[in-house]
Structure 1
Amino acid sequence: MVKQPMSVTLQDVVLKRRGTRILGPVNLKLEDKGFTIVLGPNGAGKTSLLKVLHGVERLSGGSVRWSVTPVQAREAQAYVFQKPIMLRRSVRQNLAFPLQLLKVRRSEIALRVSDWAGRIGLADALDRPATLLSGGEQQKLALARALIRDPQVLFLDEPCANLDGRSTREIETLLHTSFDAGTRIIMTTHDLGQARRLASDVIFLLNGTVREQADAPSFFAAQRSDEARAFLNGDIIE
């Protein structure tokens, strides 16, 4: 099946919790290709923006429109949380689970599980409980469990937070490979070095609003706002 291009448009999006505005108003368009990095200080609304795009937050106002039907958009997406969620099952069963939901044939599941276990260095740990893996191993497993479905769009919320350099490098390699294979990636990070390494374009958020959106070379070369300039300089911004 040929995949349809999946761009998304946010129009006047507002998100409130208990009367407090968390996000918005946001007007934003993301094309069907790219590696988008979402930057901003703590509390800027980065995670909320990902959840709004993924359709797991109830909007207080505005709209999120994908260029495909809501069902197609939902089925073509995957989301990896900052703290990986492990099923209380083996590595093998964690990898197989999303394919079982899609009713993939057992023989195909076995092949894809074996392939992805090898890619993340867990080929010898398929029968180990996933909850006993190290933090880096759990994050790689969570990423593989998302990518094994071959999603068109992948959302990542600080996937390398609190990981060592080796685990971070391994995850970035997986992301590069998936991006090169055609996966659209939208990711938050506090690591500016990582943002420079991965981003094709950047969204800078502050106080729930988009202050800048630009291709990565332009953003890192010359910021349009004082707030983005201060953020990149490591200054405290409010």
Structure 2
Amino acid sequence: MRDLMIEETAGLKVSGVHITRKGSVLLDVPQLSLNGPGPTLILGPNGAGKSLLLRCLHGLISPDCGRVTQGGVPLNAVHKSQQAMVFQQPVLLRRSVAGNLDFALKRVGLARAERKKKIADLLAEGGLSEKARQSAKYLSGGEAQRLAVLRALALSPKTLFLDEPTSSLDPGATQAIERMILSASSQGVRIVMVTHDIGQARRLASDVVMMQGGYVVEHGAAKQVLDSPASEASRRYLAGRLVT
């Protein structure tokens, strides 16, 4: 197992974040605090602003106004190693499976001997030990996404953002990714994840953020939101009805 013992949760807070493009409001979040242990799962229909919110939380997109803080510190002052992100389509380097992990570990300054042991531990955790010398471009979709998650976790981030990491995977591959997510969460990594899969939210989430039309329509404990949603938008979405 990896050594990812992180002493405290990295709280995220959104204040007055607003994004408008060509006269249309894409994101409008007056207040949102993600201070629990996680995982936090963000749900909602297409175009709800889920991925846009995730990118704002990670600092990939700057809002027109408002700010995001982590642990009370503005994102531009947060060291990049405290956050990592995995996208829907894995982005891997043109090198071996082990080489992808080695590249990440070099960034955090690990010596060669330490990197070698860490890589072995990571590959074992992701079930990729036998693929270590293989070029990453020949991995299956599920294997590639596992490697992407492992590479993100190699940085020992306080917060890991995931944007629908299992949307194109079969049930077996999805289960493997979910195990990795729960393992990381149990070791103190704050997970914030976008998904369309309500079943996945039930399996993973500690709390749920429901979005519609760029707004957060509901946020609370997973069981409360998923079983007894307070907003009409949440009720319609969870019932599988069209949300406009």
TM-score, normalised to structure 2, is 0.93
Distance apart, 1:172 and its partner CA = 0.7
Q: Which residue of 2 aligns with 1:29?
A: 33
Q: Which residue of 2 aligns with 1:77?
A: 83
Q: 2:119 aligns with which of 99, 110, 113?
A: 113
Distance apart, 1:59 and its partner CA = 1.1
Deviations for 1:101-143, whole angstroms, at most 9, x for unmatched residues?
1121111111111111111111111111101111000000000
Distance apart, 1:226 and its partner CA = 1.1
Equivalents in 1 of 2:199, 2:6: separation in Å? 35
Q: Which residue of 2 aligns with 1:45?
A: 49
- Does the 8 A contact of 2:164 with 2:195 survive in 1? yes
Gapped runs of 5+ residues in structure 1?
A: none
Distance apart, 1:73 and its partner CA = 4.9
Equivalents in 1 of 2:177, 2:145: separation in Å? 8
SS at match of 1:228: helix
Distance apart, 1:66 and its partner CA = 2.1
AA aligned to 1:162 is S
Deviations for 1:155-211, whole angstroms, at most 9, x for unmatched residues?
000010110111011111111111111111000111111100000000000000000
Deviations for 1:3-51, whole angstroms, at most 9, x for unmatched residues?
4542121111012334432111431111052110000001100000110
- Does the 8 A contact of 1:6 with 1:73 survive in 2? no
- Does the 8 A contact of 1:14 with 1:24 survive in 2? yes
Deviations for 1:38-81, whole angstroms, at most 9, x for unmatched residues?
00001100000110001110210111122254444532111000
- 1:175-186 equivalences in 2 (<5 Å): 175-186=181-192
- Does the 8 A contact of 2:38 with 2:191 survive in 1? yes
Q: Which residue of 1 aligns with 2:146?
A: 140
- Which is worse superposed, 77-86 or 63-72? 63-72
Aligned-CA RMSD value: 1.6
AA aligned to 1:224 is A
- 1:1-238 equivalences in 2 (<5 Å): 3=7, 5-31=9-35, 33-69=37-73, 70=75, 71-238=77-244
- Does the 8 A contact of 1:77 with 1:154 survive in 2? yes
Q: Identify if the C-alpha distance between structure 1 residues 73 and 30 changes in structure 2 by more than 3 Å, giving closer, same or farther.
A: farther
Equivalents in 1 of 2:28, 2:70: separation in Å? 18
Gapped runs of 5+ residues in structure 2?
A: none
Equivalents in 2 of 1:53, 1:78: separation in Å? 11
Equivalents in 2 of 1:35, 1:102: separation in Å? 25
SS at match of 1:169: helix
- Which is worse superposed, 111-120 or 38-47? 111-120
Q: Identify if the C-alpha distance between structure 1 residues 30 and 203 changes in structure 2 by more than 3 Å, giving closer, same or farther.
A: same
Equivalents in 2 of 1:5, 1:49: separation in Å? 20
May I ask how many residue pairs the two structures share in their alignment? 238
AA aligned to 1:74 is K
Equivalents in 2 of 1:218, 1:24: separation in Å? 24
Identity of aligned pairs, percent?
39
SS at match of 2:146: helix
